[in-house]
Amino acid sequence: MLKRPYKPSILLYAVLSATPFNQCAFANDNSVNQSESRLSKERLLDLPNVSISQPKSLQEAIDAQKKQTKAQKLLKIDIKKSIEQFDHPDTHEASQKLLGVHGHELTIDQVRQQALENNLSIKVAQVDPTIANTLVRQEEAKFDKVIFAYAKYNNVDLPKYSNDNVSLKSTDAGLNNQAVKLDTLAQDTNKLDFEAGIKIPLRTGGTVTLSSPLSRKKTDGNFDSLEYRSALKFSFSQPLLRNAGRDANEASIRIASIGQQDAKLKTRLQTIRVLAMIDKAYWALYQAWGVLEVRRLQHEYATQNLMMVKRRVQEGLTARVEINRSEIGVADRMEGLIIAQTNVKLAQRQLQFLLNDISDEDNPDYYMVPSTDPTLVKYDFDRKKLFNDALDSRIELLQQELKLTADLQKIGYLENQTLPLFSLDYQYGALSNTQSRFNNSYDHVLNGQFSDWSVGLKFEMPLTNEARKSRLDRAVQTRMQRLTTKRLQTLTVKREIYDALDKVDQNWQRILFARQQVLIAGINYEAELKQFNEGIRTMTEVLETLTRLGDAQIKEIKSISDYQVALVDTAYATGTLLGYGNFELQ
Q: Return the beta strands (E) in 32-170 as ranges.
A: 56-57, 102-106, 146-158, 161-167
Higher pLDDT, 166 or 60: 166
Cβ atoms of 375 and 320 within 8 Å: the answer is: no
Residue pLDDT, tens place only, 182-195: 888 888 889 999 99
Banded model confidence at residue 575, pLDDT cuts 50, 70, 90: confident
Residue type, 414: L
Average pLDDT over residues 145-160: 91
Banded model confidence at residue 582, pLDDT cuts 50, 70, 90: very low
- Separation of alpha carbons 232 and 579, rounded Å: 67
Residue type, 19: T
Nearest Cα residue to 295 out of 95, 103, 104, 10? 95
pLDDT score recorded for residue 46: 62
Q: Where are the alpha helices (DSSP H) in 5-88?
A: 58-69, 79-82
Average pLDDT over residues 103-127: 86
- Separation of alpha carbons 337 and 344, rounded Å: 11
Nearest Cα residue to 5 out of 293, 295, 280, 300? 293
Q: At a CB cut-off of 8 Å and minimum separation 6, what does 94 contact?
A: none
Which helix or strand (DSSP H or E) is residue 536 part of?
A: none
Query: Across the strands, what pairs with 105?
Result: 369
- Separation of alpha carbons 456 and 241, rounded Å: 15
Residue pLDDT, tens place only, 193-215: 999 999 999 999 999 999 999 99
Banded model confidence at residue 246, pLDDT cuts 50, 70, 90: very high
pLDDT score recorded for residue 488: 92
C-alpha dist (Å) from residue 170 to 94, 109, 177, 182, 495: 128, 101, 8, 16, 97
pLDDT score recorded for residue 474: 94
pLDDT score recorded for residue 2: 39
- Separation of alpha carbons 242 and 254, rounded Å: 19
Q: What are phi and psi of 83, to 5 degrees?
A: -115, 20
pLDDT score recorded for residue 288: 92
Average pLDDT over residues 496-502: 91
List b or e across 64-83, with b for residues whose CB sees 16 or more CB atoms inside 10 angstroms.
eeeeeeeeeeeeebebeeeb
